[in-house]
Amino acid sequence: MKIITTILALILSVSGLKAQERIPETLTLDQAIDRALQNNKDILIQRNEVSAVENDLYKGNAGLLPTVNLIGGASYNNGFTDVTIRTFQPENPQVQIDDNGVASETYSAVVQADYTLINGFAGKYRYKLLENGLNLARYEQEQLINNTVVAVTMVFIEIAKLQGREDILKSVLKNERERAQKIGDRFEFGQATGLDVLQTQTNINNYERDLDEVFLAKENLNTQLNFLIGGDLQTSHQVSAIYTLKEAQTPAVIVEGIKANNPAIKLAAEGVTLSQNQINLARSELYPRLSLRANYGYFNQQNDLQQLAELTTLGYTVGATLSYNIFNGTMVKREISKAKINMDSERIRNEQALEYITSLALQEYNKGLKLRAQLTRETANLETFNEAFERISDRYFNGKASNLDISDAQAQLLNAQVNLLDIQLDLIASEVSLDALMGNLLGL
């Protein structure tokens, strides 16, 4: 039987049990990624964290808006009172009154507005720091999405490789069993030896053992894939990985893509911006502060034993406070120095991240070039081994080739098929990894 020579579309089964035990669900790589983006627990948590940071981003949280308070109070006092009053008269210049059980009551209600008019732009930079925090949360989300898409793809590709091996092994087993039947018939007529029968059965046993190992590996990877896409861990999938050769990108385009879109680079750059705003916030302490206040209130006091038996006020009060710190133990100077050191560290991290990610991308680019060259060679090899297997099969059944000859030819063809499958899927994985480094997965 002729074995498939070209594998451009792979319909691959991902199952915890053998295919005959569960009906698999069809799943493409794009569908798996969509499910991960919707259901992956880490992504859901990060989205909530972004929402929480968005909730904190408002001018009032940075002190840029006035505050209005309703202030009320009441007090009651009862005790011994000794009062000496100056009369400014020749006779009895002073009058002294004392009594026990003297009571006084005080009531007040005020609506007061406070606003800091000048504070060295501290409110402005506090707001910018809140914006930095939101940007960092969003870039962390992008990075998580990037990493999750890559993780889903890598598991998907490994399952594809295993299913490809499964399909090939099943095809080989079918051929081997057909040949074993024919060898058994020939053995009965004395046209084959017992060694031929044993060798064929050994080959069958080995292929069945390899198939069992494939089933076990697929079961574990199936669980891992379901965890990443947020599904039932025991759900079975029929997944489709279609290989399409894309045009190779140039190193210059790759580097530009990294600088513009890579989430880790965005994070590092935002860290530099945040550090600059922290320096500006620390410097704001060097400037004077002007605070304004205005209130409208009611005040009432009643006294049993005082010159003022009752005092009531109702009206407006407006005031301003100007303060300037002359010395605070060099705290501001040290805060500014610390913020500058942090900014220098962030700049170094930014440069390091760009160099590291660019290095990974160029390595992936070189890997892709190598895989493309291998794809061409392995495609030609597969055609060669397929023709060789067909010729050996014809010679074998005509009695001109031994069982060892056809087993070797089949093993070579099997290796060629597996190699071609692996290269095709490795190319998909390499392209996804490169897109992830360039930040091109975020629009999925």
Provide the pLDDT confidence category of residue 359 given band limits of 50, 70 and 90. very high
Considering the chain, what is the average pLDDT of its residues?
Answer: 85
Q: What is the mean pLDDT of residues 313-336?
A: 90
The structural domains of the chain, with segments of one domain joined by +, span 9-77+118-293+327-437
Provide the pLDDT confidence category of residue 15 given band limits of 50, 70 and 90. very low
The answer on pLDDT for 7 being more than 50 is no
The answer on pLDDT for 393 being more than 90 is no
Give the Å distances, CA to CA, from 172 to 1, 46, 196, 390.
Answer: 9, 47, 17, 13
The answer on pLDDT for 10 being more than 70 is no
The answer on pLDDT for 191 being more than 70 is no
Q: What is the mean pLDDT of residues 208-216?
A: 90
The answer on pLDDT for 3 being more than 60 is no
- Considering only 101-105, 158-162, 419-423, which range has the smallest mean pLDDT? 101-105
Provide the pLDDT confidence category of residue 307 given band limits of 50, 70 and 90. low
Provide the pLDDT confidence category of residue 335 given band limits of 50, 70 and 90. very high
Model pLDDT, residue 108: 92
Query: 58 vs 246, which has greater pLDDT?
Result: 58
Q: What is the mean pLDDT of residues 295-324?
A: 85
Q: What is the mean pLDDT of residues 295-312?
A: 80
Q: What is the mean pLDDT of residues 295-322?
A: 85
Model pLDDT, residue 226: 92
pTM of the model: 0.80
Provide the pLDDT confidence category of residue 19 given band limits of 50, 70 and 90. very low
- Considering only 124-133, 177-186, 236-245, 248-257, which range has the smallest mean pLDDT? 236-245
Superfamily of domain 9-77+118-293+327-437: Outer membrane efflux proteins (OEP) (1.20.1600.10)
Q: What is the pLDDT of residues 47-90, one digit of tens each?
A: 999 999 999 999 999 989 999 999 999 998 887 777 777 777 77
- Considering only 46-60, 301-315, 339-353, which range has the smallest mean pLDDT? 301-315
Model pLDDT, residue 443: 57
Q: What is the mean pLDDT of residues 246-272?
A: 91
